[in-house]
Amino acid sequence: MQSTNPRPSDIDSIPCSIEKALTIIGGKWSFLVLKELYTGTKRFSELQRALPGVSPKALTDTLRHLESHGILERKVYPTVPVTVEYTLTEKGNDFHGVLREMKRWGAKWG
């Protein structure tokens, strides 16, 4: 009788869902940006004030990355100067439970 357990070489070829999630969410600032957006829509300047130490370039790159993966949406208002707001999508909001569990784990073991 043949074993139903996958061989190590078979496991290596299976796409890992954790790896996929980290590719989408795993940037240095992504978790902190998400934490801020869970309290509601924010402008770039509000995010920058809430995240001391983040450079404008790093924040821009993080926001673009999350937008390109459907985690947040960017809305531009034709004001002078232009107003840009960031809001979580359904996909981004769905990650909230994961982030809460990470916070709980960090409080217990950090």
Residue ranges and CATH numbers for the domains of the chain are 16-109 (1.10.10.10)
Tell me what pLDDT residue 9 has.
56
pLDDT by 10s per residue, the chain, length 110? 555 555 655 556 557 888 888 889 988 899 999 999 999 999 999 999 999 999 999 999 999 999 999 999 999 999 999 999 999 999 999 999 998 998 899 999 98
Tell me what pLDDT residue 39 has.
96
For residues 25 and 93, the answer to whether their CB atoms sit within 8 Å is no
Helix axes 30-37, 96-109, angle to 10 degrees: 110
Whether the bond into 6 is cis, omega within 30 of 0: no
Residue 103 to residues 2, 11, 44, 71, 86, Cα–Cα distance (Å): 43, 30, 24, 19, 23
Tell me what pLDDT residue 16 has.
86
